[in-house]
A and B are shown apart, each in its own frame.
Chain A
Amino acid sequence: GAGVSQSPRYKVAKRGQDVALRCDPISGHVSLFWYQQALGQGPEFLTYFQNEAQLDKSGLPSDRFFAERPEGSVSTLKIQRTQQEDSAVYLCASSLGWGDEKLFFGSGTQLSVL
């Protein structure tokens, strides 16, 4: 595709509800990252995939957060039993990998937990 695509663009969830956020990276990009951006802050690293392998999940805030990229392309970030503190913009980014580190971001999913 022309760029990194994320859906939904906005998500409102009731506290305790499970949500799933989708990311479609640029075709051929090996590396895929998820970031969380709170209002007025910089993106904070959540997790990293190289193809289908999740090589780093050190940024996931709790075991309620789970990410997968089963076929090395589309990725899903799942948040179980959402809490108000989960409210943020979730950004997906991809890069070609293998030494090309230019990171291209999607427009994000703005999650609001009520």
Chain B
Amino acid sequence: GENVEQHPSTLSVQEGDSAVIKCTYSDSASNYFPWYKQELGKRPQLIIDIRSNVGEKKDQRIAVTLNKTAKHFSLHITETQPEDSAVYFCAASIGYGGATNKLIFGTGTLLAVQP
């Protein structure tokens, strides 16, 4: 069935280091891959997304890469700061055959940035 695997489940880095979170998806028809950041007790917030016609996208310290052949996509955070500490979720779209898709989420990565 439709599945998104995410790892690692926890990640601890020193402030200023880079963090990488990886996801794989099962549905070869998936064409939209967003990443969400969720702080404790708060709503998931979209931080970056990528479509399948693009291999990489960058927004300041955050970048996402996509390998459609291998069905892998990754989130890269450079120069990490304590405020980057949160749970990060990847997601992949599952199409309805029309203009709207539903998102299947990974299990999350708890990122802790140590000052």
Contact = CB atoms under 8 A, between A and B. Distances in A.
A90 B108 CA distance: 17
B96 A56 contact: yes
State which size class the interface on B falls in: 20 to 34
Q: Taking chain B's interface residues, is the majority helix, strand, or loop, or is none over half, making it mixed?
A: strand
A50 interface: yes
Contacts, number: 60
A97 interface: yes
Interface size class of chain A, counting residues whose CB lies under 8 Å from the partner chain: 20 to 34
Interface in A69-105: 91, 95, 97-99, 101-105
A16 interface: no
Given A55-B96, A106-B43, A107-B42, A48 B102 contact: yes
Interface of B: 4, 6, 32, 34, 36, 42-46, 49, 89, 93, 96, 99-108
